[in-house]
Amino acid sequence: MRKTVLSRTLAVAVSGCALVALTATPAFAATGSAPGTQTAPVQAGAGQPARAGAAQAGGGQAVAGKAVAGQTESHCDTTAGDSLKWGPPTRESDFDGTTLPPDWHAYGPEPGHMEDGTRSPDAVTVEDGAVTISGDEEGNTGAISWHPGQKYGRWEGCVKADPGAGGYNALFLLWPVKEDWPVGGEVDWMEIMSDDRQETSFFLHYGANNDQEYGSVKQDSTEWTAYALEWTPEKITGFVNGKEWFSSTDTSHFPPGAMNMTMQLDYFRPAGGPTAMHMDWAKQWALPESEPAQLSLGPGEPATGQSQLHPDRAPRPLDQIQDPAPTPATATDPVAPADPTAPAADPAAPATGSDQGATAGSDPAPDPAVTPPTGSVPATGPSASTPSASTPAASGAGTAGSTT
């Protein structure tokens, strides 16, 4: 998650303030819900056989499935994409080379999260079929973003995080392409704050006061795990290894515009030792309702978490980009079963996410590193909550001119 320059000025005043109104909607195995809720671990998909390869569809590094000849096996076999029959992705990155694909963009070099430590492309490596972001005791770490984005769609990544000794959060998130946080929203669909990487949080940020919905799930993320997000006009849903664990149907909380996927290893002083997070592959699906982003970055260009300091690295209109990455197609029809004699099917199936009943939580922990902008009134509501000193620090959020 990312944090504004304005909100940093209030960081010292966090304690004792009612920051945000939170509602948790975990569908299974979740914590942060009503007292007495039982938490069941979700098994990781490590060590499972390779998936059958799917057809290539769309732009980016779109080679679907690692069971294709000449590619390494997938580390995550139990996925939302397969379990819910989402069909071939519109875009896919498998990280089978030694450099980032051109539609992935490393941050920096620049100051790190909350202007502490350093984000550098040197912390990002591609090797053995995976991309790795490493962090050390001095706060040298990294982040990467995937462009172009879209409004509405599905995303999934196969990831694992090394245990830490404090000071590093591992994240998958959607960030507003317009860099207009907080009104542009933020969807942290995987934030691993625990040092042992045994629990994962979901933060849905919304509104001018950076209110949040929250949920958490017990999951051993030191093992390869498939985290997925489905965003439709009616529902936002989080999945782990193909099972729903978080959902929201309050559409007033949904992002108002296009978002892009980001992978971050965020530093919080002090870090007790080095750690890393690894991604085997990432996929993006377009839906019939999807709206392609009209801002992006050119192939291989650097990205930034601090667009005020580095406006040249912020997304810009497509007509200002030389040789832009292909814009994801918008799905229009369901995907039929594969027919080897027929042309390739449309790249995405209609939404088939689980409709398991989600229940609102009671006083879940807010995203503790986020504060409202200067001059705003702290949000209140039926379950406003104050961060505890014992709560692990979550990453902050940002905007144009932000530090993330």
Length of the chain: 404
389 Ramachandran zone, left/alpha/beta (phi>0; psi -120 to 50): alpha
The verdict on residue 177 lying in a domain is: yes
pLDDT of residue 306: 81
Residues 6+ apart with CB under 8 A from 80: 86, 154, 156, 226, 228, 230, 239, 242, 353
Q: What is the per-residue pLDDT across 274-305, written as a single tens digit (0 to 9) for each?
A: 999 999 999 999 999 999 999 999 999 999 88
Q: 263 is written with which tokens?
A: 């992978």
The verdict on residue 9 lying in a domain is: no
pLDDT of residue 72: 55
Residues 6+ apart with CB under 8 A from 339: none
Q: Cα 20 from chain centroid?
A: 21
The verdict on residue 401 lying in a domain is: no
Q: What is the per-residue pLDDT across 328-353, written as a single tens digit (0 to 9) for each?
A: 555 544 433 444 444 444 434 333 33
The verdict on residue 13 lying in a domain is: no
Find the domain containing 256 and state its range.
25-356
Q: What SS3 state is found at 202?
A: strand
Tell me the C-alpha distance between 224 and 92, whole Å. 18
Q: Nearest Cα to 205, choosing from 192, 228, 222, 188?
A: 188
Place of tokens 């671990």: 41
The verdict on residue 368 lying in a domain is: no
The verdict on residue 186 lying in a domain is: yes
Distances (CA, A) of 143 to 65, 188, 214, 341, 370: 24, 14, 23, 42, 19
Global confidence as pTM: 0.70
The verdict on residue 375 lying in a domain is: no
Count of domains observed in the chain: 1
**CATH at 273:** 2.60.120.200
Q: What SS3 state is found at 155?
A: strand
Q: What is the mean pLDDT of each run of 10 residues along the chain (404 residues)?
A: 37 33 40 34 35 34 39 84 98 95 95 87 97 95 97 98 92 95 95 96 97 98 98 98 98 98 93 93 98 96 87 93 61 42 42 34 43 32 31 38 41
Residues 6+ apart with CB under 8 A from 71: 63, 65, 94, 96, 129
Hey, how many other C-beta atoms are within 10 angstroms of the C-beta on 50? Answer: 15
The verdict on residue 384 lying in a domain is: no
pLDDT of residue 12: 30
